Structure 1
Amino acid sequence: MIQNIAIDKNGLLFYTPMKKTQPLKIVLLVLKILWITVKTIVLTYAVLFSVAGTIALITAYKYVTTPIREVKWLKTNNPVETAYMASYRKELRDSSHNDTLHHTFLPIDSISPHLKSAVLAAEDDGFYTHPGFDIEAILAAYEYNKVKGKMKRGASTITQQLAKNLFLDDSRSFERKVKELAYTVLMEKYLGKDRILELYLNYAQWGKNIFGCQAASKQFYKKPASALNRIESARMAAVLAMPTRVSPTNTHSTFITRRIAVIANNLYLHHAIDDSGFFNLTGYFPAKDSSETESSTADTSSVRMENQ
């Protein structure tokens, strides 16, 4: 029989039989302690995961709703500068250059219609018909890059370019492309085409320290953007692909000549100019074979895409 060891009042050891119920009590006590320990651990983990889950949900909510708020804000507000402008100023400072940027906002109704049509012809001929991204241009760029064996041509629409300039950095990560697509869809939904074009014309880079068509027009032609004629507008639009390397007043630039050919072709195909208008821009009359004109447009349009 299992016995307990005890000490009497005289300090002598003696043995007493252990009751049969005591082992059961010990087992139950151990089980109770284990249960309390397990319950404490489970509750602790539950609380921790609950906090972590809540934080994760809040983070996800902000991640999703912040772009929506930012885009909606643009419906009635004009930013002081874009993310690209801020980054560009930092680059200028880091290289010990003057970081002053020339920029003046101009409502779209005050911008020359010649400039608006020339920019669309140069940068995004299907702007008013696509949903913010151009599937045909993407496929064409893919095939072109596949043939060339490297990334030489992009297919960014005006909306995509604006999304990148307003909100994003210049990285080529997958995350940035996803964000660009998200901002593009949101701008198309909440801003509409005219507001997107207005923002683009006002925040695109037109020279080394020049942003927006108003500052560019005054710098290059000493007149407001409302007064630009067809030829001046075409030359302004032509430099958007390489704004820090060419000037619209450079009459000897083969790059500008090629870009103006693209602009003239697209304007002609959309009946925005006639034969004489085409001649005024390019110095020659358009090809009467429409397929030849379209082919010329496709070949020269790659100039812009390579520099995006």
Structure 2
Amino acid sequence: MQIDPLKLCFRILKVILVSITAVLLTYSVVFSIAGTILIYKGYQLAVTPIKKVQLLKDSNPEESLFMSRYRQQLSTQGLSDSLFQIFIPLDSISPHLKNAVIAAEDDGFYTHPGVDLEAIAQASEYNKSQGQFKRGASTLTQQVAKNFFLGGEKSFKRKAKELCFALLMEHYLGKERILELYLNYAQWGKNIFGCEAASQHYFKKSASELNRNEAARLAAVLAMPSKLTPFHKTNFMGKRLAVIANNLYMHKQIDDQGFFGLTGSLPPRKDTLQINNKEKEKVVPVENRTSF
């Protein structure tokens, strides 16, 4: 039987075209499904954090994620896991304490969008020089985000999540609510959380009644809450009080007399003050950056 070469070529081309079409249709279905999954996952990644943040707008959780982990650690060690915490509205907290905490933990709190890019750049250079992740340059907002939503591990992935949560918190909660959450859930000693519990424990008075000196000493504890008390008279405590006094003085929240009351010395010249302020992160340990 004589085979027509032209017809054979057309048949082969037809088979090839049908095969290619089938493959393309198969891949289009696969890509369509994959695309749908990716879109859904992206939606979940975006919406879940937003929902978590929005829940904090009007509700005051019994404890933060960090507090829960802290209790578990105490229980594992066979220690009492009872935590002392009393929630107090922001407008009932002493202005001295609000100012001192911001001066101690995040001097640019009211000017940044939740993250401090300059501090992050400085921390990045420091970590690079150390060859490991040691300093996180967390703003007050980031500290709240970390302790409500994230684990305690140190990694760049967790840091990226922290930045995202911080930006969302600034947008949905605002500065005053973030400060209120910080002051009420920060660790201020062994088993002590929140400024009201800390004030009652250390000074036998409400956080609404704290004077400037008491507030500054309480704010200084935040750097090392498991090791410091407001009554420590160490070189480190002196440095923390100096940082707080410097920042309060720069923002004209205290005068020369107030500065002397906190540090026992007169304020330095303005140019020296600014240099000290830029160097302050170099004397702050990282312990509290893994909690509040």
Q: In structure 2, what is the Cα distance between the partners aligned to 1:158 and 1:290? A: 25
Aligned equivalent of 1:65: 47
Aligned length: 284
1:293 aligns to 2:267 (yes or no): no
Q: In structure 2, what is the Cα distance between the partners aligned to 1:60 and 1:146? A: 31
Conservation of the 8 A alpha-carbon contact between 1:202 and 1:211: yes
Query: Aligned in 2, Cα 1:240/1:50: closer, same or farther, shift over 3 Å?
Result: same
Alpha-carbon RMSD? 3.0
Q: In structure 1, what is the Cα distance between the partners aligned to 2:156 and 2:192? A: 30
Query: Aligned in 2, Cα 1:195/1:40: closer, same or farther, shift over 3 Å?
Result: same
1:170 aligns to 2:171 (yes or no): no
Query: Aligned in 2, Cα 1:73/1:264: closer, same or farther, shift over 3 Å?
Result: same
Conservation of the 8 A alpha-carbon contact between 2:109 and 2:139: yes
Aligned equivalent of 1:232: 214
Mean Cα displacement is larger for which, 127-136 or 228-237? 127-136
Q: In structure 1, what is the Cα distance between the partners aligned to 2:278 and 2:156? A: 28
Conservation of the 8 A alpha-carbon contact between 1:163 and 1:183: yes
State which structure, 1 or 2, has the greater radius of gyration over its C-alpha atoms.
Answer: 1
- Which one of the candidate residues 165, 176, 188 is aligned to 1:206? 188
3-state SS of 2:284 partner: helix
Conservation of the 8 A alpha-carbon contact between 1:155 and 1:305: no
Matches within 5 A, 1:1-308: 54-145=36-127, 151-250=133-232, 252-287=233-268, 289-304=269-284, 306-307=286-287, 308=289
Conservation of the 8 A alpha-carbon contact between 2:224 and 2:285: no
Unaligned runs of 5+ in 2: 2-10, 12-18
Query: Aligned in 2, Cα 1:166/1:48: closer, same or farther, shift over 3 Å?
Result: same
Conservation of the 8 A alpha-carbon contact between 2:84 and 2:197: yes
Aligned equivalent of 1:34: none
Conservation of the 8 A alpha-carbon contact between 1:259 and 1:301: no
3-state SS of 2:188 partner: strand
Percent identity, aligned pairs only, is 56
Conservation of the 8 A alpha-carbon contact between 1:163 and 1:180: yes
| CA deviation string 1:244-268 (max 9, x = no partner) | 0111122x22221110000000101
TM-score by length of 2: 0.85
Give the aligned residue type for 1:262.
V
Following superposition, the deviation at residue 49 of structure 1 comes to 6.9
Conservation of the 8 A alpha-carbon contact between 1:107 and 1:198: yes
Q: In structure 2, what is the Cα distance between the partners aligned to 1:278 and 1:270? A: 12
Conservation of the 8 A alpha-carbon contact between 1:89 and 1:100: yes
